[in-house]
Chains A and B, each alone.
Chain A
Amino acid sequence: MIELRNVSKSFGAVPAVADFSLKIESGAFFVLAGPSGCGKSTVLRMINALIFPDKGQIEVRGQDVRTMEPEKLRRGIGYVIQSAGLFPHWTVADNILAVPRLLKWSPPECAARLDALVGLLRVDPALLNRYPRQLSGGQQQRIGVARALAADPDIVLMDEPFAALDPVSRLVLQDELRGIHARSGKTIVFVTHDMDEAVRLATGMAVMNGGLLIQAGSPASILLAPVDDFVRDFLGAESLQLRLLDLVPVRTLMKPGKKGATETIAAGASLKNALNLMLACRRSSLGVADESGARLGEIHLNDIVARRDGG
């Protein structure tokens, strides 16, 4: 879907990305992680030709980005940035429909798409006629994501989209984004410096430092076998086991059982959530429920502790 081959880019004398190669498969939720200034945003901005590399090649959908008209390429790729970057003089609805209108969709098509997006991202319809300054940070970024998805692009680029949000808004939007990805099969390239966020969202990830690709693979493979001390430190070795628990849903360790344990947790929640809830209510077992709240079984602390890592 997206392939970078031996890409290098300097700004003046400062190298930002050096000899960077990466292949992102179609349908991946790919996270580029690393400390600030490691070149991850530069990589992202080269994918939609906001920046051109000095050396190397970038292909999107099998086509060299240099051979494509930049505006046309970008209209086919969703783009979300940290502070949302909503147009302050446009209403929320106009902001969401920016790209469909650039693509000259008809008004009925735009109206239908707006309806669909309001449903998909659970936007309060009362917000549509407001201006961005009247929205909270979380609401603004929700609109930013809706705007990126408006023309239904198969690729979405996201540059630390949730970094400036409060923890609650961030978790909610992360969950929704993961759901949208799972349902739509879009290819998402997501830049973050937050390791928890990376592990929670990624199907594949790359860790960068100083403009170099240090390690790429699934989140579990990187957590279990960091290639060097930098990756180990960046992952936060002291909480490695907890991060691994974040990758595994409760249903994998669920056992049949209908009695005991009054507290319940969703089958799709992570083992980390389960452990957290056990600590919070001082119990060694929890009930497991499906989305409608119907009891499916139970999960036990012993099983979490005895679990063998396999990713």
Chain B
Amino acid sequence: MGADRRSLIAALLRLARQPGPWLTVLLLAAMFLMPKAEPLMRWLFPGDPRPVYTRASFFELTLAHAELVAISSLAAAAIGIGVGIFVTRECGREFAAMAGAIAAMAQTFPPVAVLALTIPVLGYGAAPAIAALCLYAIFPIIAATVTGIEAVPATVRDAAMGMGFAPRDVLWRIELPLAFPFILAGLRNAVIINIGTAAIGSAAGALSLGSPIIEGLSASNPAYVLEGASIVALLAMAVDRGFAWLEDFTRPGGPEQPG
């Protein structure tokens, strides 16, 4: 019994040393307890008549923000991984340089400009924000997929072909599993960038954690900016830890294997 309790305490201590759980707790606290922070905000920004954003709950804003990021990142992953696979096939190799150049160009486009250009086509709301975020996430995902597939040793591919793996088997059973850590890293990059950028979506009328930021900027209310920005930052860090854990967990042979 005593030993059980000791090992439980040891496990809790181990958990407490990880930044992931702390960040998650902080994020949840910020989401749900922000209205209770009114005295703090009053002290930080004296003279502000309404220092806590109340037009929507922070839980609602975070959910809407996460939805923008999730939908745009999933779409970008589907397109990015698909293009990455295509340009590493025999038939698509000649498109590799072009795909890379187009995707890189897309990333140099400022997000606000993308919003401005897509609003006339997609209207106000979440759609232009999702389109802009998706465009941003595609490039790192294509790059990661191509890098991952090209990192598969030529001898491994040669052995697989020589043993009678069909091209489809080589892709699904050899190349993609070996490229997976790279693709996951690219996805991590894209998602973290998107969590930050999604705030801009509120400029196009989408609900997100950018809503208090943009309102705070236009109404000269720095308290709103701080509230929105701190939750965006906590969300980005918590999701980043989540990806780190996923990378560890999916390594062949489990998380404890030496590399």
Interface stretch of the complex, out of B103-111, B126-134, B164-172, B223-231: B164-172
Q: Does A48 contact B (CB under 8 A)?
A: yes
A76 to B162, CA, bound (A): 10
A88 to B178, CA, bound (A): 8
Q: Does A282 contact B (CB under 8 A)?
A: no
Residues in chain B within 8 A of chain A (CB atoms)? 153, 155-156, 158-166, 169, 174, 177-178, 252-253, 257
In order of increasing CB-CB distance, the 9 nearest A-B pairs are A85-B159, A75-B164, A79-B162, A74-B164, A85-B155, A89-B252, A71-B164, A83-B155, A71-B166
A45 to B161, CA, bound (A): 11
Q: Inside 8 A of A98's CB, which chain B residues have their CB?
A: 160, 163, 165
A84 to B166, CA, bound (A): 19
The reply to whether B165 and A88 form a contact with Cβ atoms under 8 Å apart is no
Q: Inside 8 A of B161's CB, which chain A residues have their CB?
A: 50, 74
Q: Inside 8 A of B252's CB, which chain A residues have their CB?
A: 88-89, 131
Given the interface pairs A87-B156, A88-B156, the reply to whether A102 lies near B162 with Cβ below 8 Å is: no
Q: Inside 8 A of B174's CB, which chain A residues have their CB?
A: 87
A98 to B164, CA, bound (A): 10
Segment 43-93 of A: residues with Cβ below 8 Å from B: 45, 48, 50, 70-76, 79, 81-89
A70 to B161, CA, bound (A): 9
Least CB distance from B184 to A in Å reads 14
The reply to whether B159 and A102 form a contact with Cβ atoms under 8 Å apart is no
Q: Which residue of B lies closest to A48 (CB)?
A: B162
User: Which of A50, A102, A131 counts the most B-chain CB atoms under 10 A from its CB?
Assistant: A102
The reply to whether A85 and B169 form a contact with Cβ atoms under 8 Å apart is no
The reply to whether B159 and A86 form a contact with Cβ atoms under 8 Å apart is yes
Least CB distance from B253 to A in Å reads 5
Task: Please name 10 further chain A to chain B contacts, defined as beta carbons within 8 Å, in addition to the given A50-B158, A85-B155, sorted by A numbering.
Answer: A71-B164, A75-B164, A81-B158, A81-B162, A85-B158, A85-B160, A87-B156, A88-B156, A102-B163, A102-B169
The reply to whether A89 and B178 form a contact with Cβ atoms under 8 Å apart is yes
Q: List 15 A-B contacts (CB under 8 A).
A: A71-B164, A71-B165, A75-B164, A79-B162, A81-B155, A85-B153, A85-B156, A85-B158, A86-B159, A88-B156, A88-B252, A98-B163, A102-B163, A131-B252, A148-B163
Q: Inside 8 A of B165's CB, which chain A residues have their CB?
A: 71, 98, 102
A206 to B158, CA, bound (A): 24
